Structure 1
Amino acid sequence: MHRPTPVNIELALDPNRYFISKTDTKGIITSVNEYFMKIAGYTREELIGKPHSIIRHPDMPKIIYKILWDKIQSGQNIAAICKNLAKDGKYYWVVTDFEINKDPNTGEIIEYTAYRRAPSRETIETVIPIYKELIEAEKIGGMEASEKHLQRILKNMGMSYDDFINNELKKSGLADAFKGAMKSAWGKFFGK
């Protein structure tokens, strides 16, 4: 898969709009809304059937994605602050929250719906130095070193990862934005 070369230009996001995507349990994109396509710069055809990592920015520590996938694969919701990469190499920051969709008969996870919105500048400025430290730890000692470093950072803050993210959601004014609005946004964009 061809990955764009990152350029140091941040895309401006509408703080009132949601990016929405669905993936299967392997992270392959099955649905996206118009705003997702507009900001990411890909057509629906370029996204459907591709791994969601198509928008992963190299400035994102791998440990954040490991935490994210471990949680949602175990059926637990999680929110994450992510720097994403558009097709033209520009970047954009989002807060992502997940809905875990299960088969009503078996209870087995069948897909994930990701809801994204723009975080506040304050939240972005909080995570940038943390993510830089995690990337540096990753370069030296791999993901295990990055994970240990993240645990030290969180211990020094006296928080769990979830507490940290929830605190950032509150600072961004998004603490309640993801609750009912997610399902409403999904229905608006996908007719459900």
Structure 2
Amino acid sequence: MNAMSGARSGIRPTGRSRTFGRDEVIVTKTDLQGRITYANDVFLRVAVYDEHEVIGRPHNIIRHPDMPRAVFGLLWQEIQAGREIFAYVNNLASDGVNYWVFAHVTPTWANGRIVGYHSNRRVPDLGAVHTIEPVYAQLLAEERRHSHPVRAIEASTALLGRVLDDAGVTYDQFVWSLAGASA
């Protein structure tokens, strides 16, 4: 996927975090390749971009290097199959500050075909973030053990499957258990 493997900018994480209002929603839309076609004002403010800097760019311009690619692989698998997905995602703003989101990503349909993707993101509960961080760290460590990107994602995806199997839950159940535990 272009959006999953596209070039990253040279932005380095600062170790600082930001958030946005619990009543706000970050919205972006992309084409089939994951290039941004729309970004709302909340996205632009939180990610510290001007609109002209993001339109036409791969959505992964905000991918934090501590985010496991296996999560994005699962995301792409689901939305390309016409299904929605919810995920906790750590993003990286243009100024190097990170911001966590609880993302809902769905295909955009027209005339019975997927024509793009739409994502709404809200502020996640901190308890959910604290729970997901060690899981993501495990997945990322597995990815870093492999020099070939495809093999890294495969190994991390397999590890995620084992973690979920050991817990006796699906990915969706895991994500919603975190959301439910914090409600």
Same fold (TM over 0.5): yes
Matched residues, number: 171
- Aligned AA for 2:173? D
What's 2:130 paired with?
Answer: 125
- Whole-angstrom distance in 1 between the partners of 2:24 and 2:182: 14
Alignment of 1:81-160 (within 5 A): 81-104=88-111, 107-141=112-146, 142-160=152-170
Shift of 1:62: 0.4
Residue pair 2:108, 2:114 contacting (<8 A) in 1 also: yes
Q: What's the RMSD between the two structures over aligned residues?
A: 1.1
Gaps of 5+ in 1: 174-192
Cα gap change, 1:172 to 1:36, in 2 (>3 Å): farther
Residue pair 1:119, 1:172 contacting (<8 A) in 2 also: no
Q: Do residues 57 (structure 1) and 64 (structure 2) align?
A: yes
- Aligned AA for 1:119? P
Shift of 1:12: 2.5
TM-score (norm 2): 0.90
Cα gap change, 1:102 to 1:169, in 2 (>3 Å): same
- Aligned AA for 1:136? A
- Whole-angstrom distance in 1 between the partners of 2:51 and 2:90: 21
What's 2:171 paired with?
Answer: 161
Residue from 76, 82, 90 that aligns with 1:75: 82
Shift of 1:172: 4.1
Cα gap change, 1:103 to 1:12, in 2 (>3 Å): closer
TM-score (norm 1): 0.86
- Whole-angstrom distance in 1 between the partners of 2:79 and 2:106: 9
Q: Do residues 9 (structure 1) and 28 (structure 2) align?
A: no
Residue from 49, 52, 55 that aligns with 1:48: 55
What's 2:180 paired with?
Answer: 170
What's 1:190 paired with?
Answer: none
- Whole-angstrom distance in 1 between the partners of 2:161 and 2:108: 29
Segments of 4+ moved more than 3 angstroms = none
Shift of 1:99: 2.9
- Whole-angstrom distance in 2 between the partners of 1:128 and 1:99: 24
- Whole-angstrom distance in 1 between the partners of 2:126 and 2:164: 21
SS of residue matched to 2:145: helix
- Aligned AA for 1:147? T
Shift of 1:100: 1.7
What's 2:25 paired with?
Answer: 18
- Whole-angstrom distance in 2 between the partners of 1:62 and 1:93: 16
Residue pair 2:18, 2:97 contacting (<8 A) in 1 also: yes
Shift of 1:14: 1.2
